[in-house]
Amino acid sequence: MFTRPLLRLAAAAFALFGATAAYAQNTTSGNFTEVPFDRLTDRAVGQLGFRALTIRKADWKHAESAHFVYHFFQSFVAAPVSVEAEFFYSIVAKELGKDTSQWPKKCHIYIFDKAEDWDSFRIAGQLDPWTGGLCAGGELFIPRIAESKWKGDTLGHEVTHLVVFRFFGIGIPLWLNEGFAEYAASRGYASFWRARGYSARPKSQAVNPAKWIPIADLTGLTNYPVDVTQVHTFYNESERVVRYLSSVDKPGFLRLFEAMAQGNRFDVALNRAFPGRFSSLNALDAAAKEYATKDHGTTMQDQ
């Protein structure tokens, strides 16, 4: 189960206009087609999905696009989501070097456009109160408040989790899953706006060196830090480590991803993915820390 905390809703310039601009500039809306539930090509919903559909049960509508099934209350909210979801699907697939010609089962996205409905779902699903989005068991649950102009950057992050789950299953460790989701979302929103004529590059927040989590500890985490002040560091550092490893050797990073998905220990996967590059975890820790903290107090941008 992966959650997206509200305190991580960044990239306001992208988020303010993202969904509306996407919908307006993509006339196909990702082939978004509204249909009754019994006409969906994939009607298999999970336990959380079932709980979601009991909230205002008679008001849910349904649709699908090339790779996703949508459950929603208002089409004007869901249609832009479908554009973003399909866009991020293509970004993530490209980043992971995956052949997507065969996609036998669609992922489900549940869209809540009222805060009170999202709160009801959070309580029913026993989610943390700060949860601003959730990917679990191949399903995505997202608040997309209709009257709010700022939609946040949650969707790109959570769609990344969804696509990673479809390609790799549950084997990806927490730091890599969250770090890659942050990385892909940043690159995705930048690409989204560059395609529309804006000057935009991915953004990444440097890690405070005083709060650095040693690589051996970071890669061993199976749950989010208990200390809420470390959650912010966990996300930033995970993203920076992913960004660093990808910049060092992109094919090597993809080999690491595959090895971790297969259940290898991080040190074993690292040696296989980057042979001869890092003599030990301490060597990686030193190099990654220098990369991740050197511009602390500023916002890094890259191509």
In degrees and rounded to multiples of 5, residue 32 shows phi and psi of: -65, 120
Question: Residue 28: what pLDDT?
Answer: 37
Question: Residue 47: what pLDDT?
Answer: 92
- Give the Å distances, CA to CA, from 107 to 101, 159, 187, 210, 234: 15, 10, 22, 40, 27
Number of neighbouring beta carbons within 10 Å of residue 181:
27
Average pLDDT for 207-234: 93
pLDDT over 70 at 103, yes or no: no
Question: Residue 196: what pLDDT?
Answer: 59
Please state the length of the chain.
303
What element of type H or E holds 72? strand 68-72
The alpha helices in 126-278, defined as continuous H runs, are: 154-168, 174-194, 215-218, 228-248, 250-261, 266-273
pLDDT over 80 at 224, yes or no: yes
Nearest to 127 by CA among 274, 6, 44, 208: 6
Q: In which band, very low, low, confident or very high, does the pLDDT at 158 lie, cut at 50, 70 and 90?
A: confident
pTM of the model: 0.80
Nearest to 124 by CA among 100, 141, 107: 141
Looking at the chain, the whole-number percentage of residues with pLDDT higher than 70 is: 79
Place of tokens 């978004």: 32
Higher pLDDT, 139 or 190: 139
Higher pLDDT, 129 or 68: 68
Question: Residue 145: what pLDDT?
Answer: 84
Q: Using CB atoms within 10 A of its CB, is residue 292 exposed (0-12), middle (13-18) or buried (19+)?
A: buried
Per the CB < 8 A criterion, the answer to whether 283 and 291 are in contact is no
Nearest to 111 by CA among 177, 52, 185: 52
pLDDT over 50 at 18, yes or no: no
Say how far apart CA 117 and CA 268 lie, in whole Å: 45
Question: Residue 193: what pLDDT?
Answer: 55
Please state the domain extents for the chain.
2-169, 178-301
Q: Which of 83-92, 104-113, 156-165, 282-291 has the highest mean pLDDT?
A: 282-291
Average pLDDT for 219-241: 92
Give the right CATH number for 2-169 from 3.40.30.160, 3.20.20.70, 3.30.420.40, 3.30.70.980. 3.40.30.160
The alpha helices in 96-222, defined as continuous H runs, are: 115-124, 154-168, 174-194, 215-218
pLDDT over 50 at 21, yes or no: no
Looking at the chain, the whole-number percentage of residues with pLDDT higher than 90 is: 52
Question: Residue 117: what pLDDT?
Answer: 95
pLDDT over 80 at 202, yes or no: no
Which of these ranges, 74-78, 97-101, 143-147, has the smallest mean pLDDT? 97-101
Question: Residue 220: what pLDDT?
Answer: 95
According to DSSP, residue 130 is labeled T
pLDDT over 50 at 132, yes or no: yes
Question: Tens digits of per-residue pLDDT, 54-83?
Answer: 999 999 999 999 889 999 999 999 999 998
pLDDT over 60 at 241, yes or no: yes
Which of these ranges, 22-31, 162-171, 241-250, has the smallest mean pLDDT? 22-31
pLDDT over 60 at 129, yes or no: yes
pLDDT over 70 at 240, yes or no: yes
Question: Residue 148: what pLDDT?
Answer: 66
Nearest to 144 by CA among 177, 178, 121, 163: 121
pLDDT over 90 at 249, yes or no: yes
Per the CB < 8 A criterion, the answer to whether 107 and 139 are in contact is yes
According to DSSP, residue 125 is labeled T
